[in-house]
Amino acid sequence: MSGDLKPVYLDYNATTPIASEVQAAIIENLDNWGNPSSSYAIGKRAKSAVDKARSQIAEMLDAQAVDIIFTSGGTESNHLAITSAINKYRESNTNTLPHIVTTNVEHPAITQPLRHYEEQNMCNVTYVPVVKGTGRVNVTAVLDSLQPRTCMVTIMLANNETGILQPVQQIFSEIRKLNLTRSEKILLHTDAAQVIGKLKVSAGELQADMITIVGHKFYGPRIGALYCRNPQNIIRPMFFGGNQERGFRSGTENVAMIAGLGAAAQLVTDNIDGYTKHLKNVRDYLRDGLMTRFQLVLNEEDPKLERGEVMWRYVDSHMLPNTLSVRFGGFSGNQLLAELSDTLQASTGAACHSGGSVSQILLNSWNWSEEGASQTVRLSVGRETRRSDIDRVLDGLAGLILGDEAVTLSRLKGRIVTNA
């Protein structure tokens, strides 16, 4: 590899660069330093910038601008959704604990606050397991977990590690029907961090009450927002003191970053079909290239992979268009990435999960042992990823794994394990 070539970045599920249009919006508004709550001219200009961004984000979601609340990021948005559901329930139910339903593959920004609130005896939580081998939660299993005191169902729209899309729309549609006859309405929340900017997300189609929006996942700044249908009926603020965001989130607005988030949303609104098509095209090129250079093992269970064999589990219609989670025989994921650090920048899972030796998300999603999960590398492509980048990565992988045996002809004639 030429010394002036940078490693190919394939970790777009972790974070994305800031788009040039977003940078321009941020820079332009760095001089827009007035307080949006002020009534004089410079404050009004700042408020206008915030209002514009709010409208841009709402348009991206086919929503109303009044339903967008700016936050510091996805973690805060998730916390605001959860605490609002808990506190809303407790206002009229003082003798019973609220109950929340989620899955066993959620992001730590959901699972850790839920476990904390359980420990504080503020709620009970049911963690519905996804179906092993599919990574998807069963709609009926979620519905069967509901209780009279269930106040919230929170299920991520797509998993950040596996790329699997969850049947959120189907689940929320069924619960909305149940809500017609329930005295305690169930609030419906989804963390859409991994899907916005990759596939079209419509608040109305999802039938969600709340949606978490994370700027740095779709080429925006590291702030976020929470969509909330009729927030005055749902939101119970965590912060007090300034009455900004109509009292839902106190704290002087970060005008430049909010403007940047709006610009990122506008890019999605204008280009989502093209983004989806490009991401899928490049991801499929990566998939096909792996099948060309290595032996693909097809197995629903947990075979021991030999050096030069690869394996993945996905159904294309249930996947993010940019993600491929791959097992490489003969290497741990960490070892593979360390050896290829000059060629490839990727991860074995979410950075937020670092510290553990094996991803629990992978163990919960697939029929794999800890060894199988440890061999997995998450490869996620982005808007600027080109086929030439994928070729470099494939050549690097082949050179490391196969050495002198590296070839570019099909190896699919080799061992293919099936359930038969």
Give domain limits for the chain.
8-16+271-405, 20-268
- The distance of Cα 41 from the centroid of its chain, to the nearest Å, equals 39
pLDDT(269) > 80: yes
What is the mean pLDDT of the segment spanning 153-157? 98
As annotated, the active-site residues are 352
Q: Hey, what long-range contacts does 168-173 have (CB within 8 A, 24 or more apart)?
A: 168/206, 168/208, 169/205, 169/206, 169/207, 170/139, 171/137, 171/139, 171/142, 171/143, 172/206, 172/207, 172/208, 173/207
User: Could you read off the pLDDT of 229-239 as tens digits, one per residue?
Assistant: 999 999 998 88
Can you tell me the distance from the alpha carbon of 95 to that of 362, in angstroms, rounded to the nearest whole number? 38
Give all strands (DSSP E) within 165-223, no chain letters. 187-191, 210-214
pLDDT(419) > 50: no
- Of residues 178 and 300, more confidently modeled: 178
DSSP-assigned letter for residue 218: T
Count Cβ atoms within 10 A of the Cβ of residue 389 and give its class: 0-12 exposed, 13-18 middle, 19 or more buried. buried
Q: What pLDDT shows up at residue 417?
A: 41
Taking the model in full, what pTM does it have? 0.93
Q: What pLDDT shows up at residue 353?
A: 45
| Contact between 22 and 220 (Cβ < 8 Å) | yes
Structure tokens at 392: 């470099």
Task: Report percent pLDDT > 90 for the chain.
Answer: 81
Q: What pLDDT shows up at residue 244?
A: 83
Class of domain 8-16+271-405: alpha beta
Q: Confidence class of residue 407 from pLDDT cuts 50, 70 and 90?
A: low
Q: Confidence class of residue 3 from pLDDT cuts 50, 70 and 90?
A: low
What angle do the packed helices 41-60 and 255-293 form, to 10 degrees?
30
Structure tokens at 130: 């996804």
Task: Answer positive or negative: Cα dihedral of 112, 69, 165, 155.
Answer: positive
Structure tokens at 309: 């064999």
Count of helices and strands (H, E) across the chain:
13, 13
User: Could you read off the pLDDT of 345-368 as tens digits, one per residue?
Assistant: 999 975 544 445 689 999 999 999
Give all strands (DSSP E) within 129-270, no chain letters. 150-154, 187-191, 210-214, 224-228
Can you tell me the distance from the alpha carbon of 238 to that of 230, in angstroms, rounded to the nearest whole number? 17
Q: In terms of Cα–Cα distance, which of 100, 97, 104 is closest to 79? A: 100
CATH architecture of the domain with residue range 20-268:
3-Layer(aba) Sandwich (3.40)
User: Could you read off the pLDDT of 6-22 as tens digits, one per residue?
Assistant: 999 999 999 999 999 99
- The distance of Cα 362 from the centroid of its chain, to the nearest Å, equals 15
pLDDT(395) > 60: yes
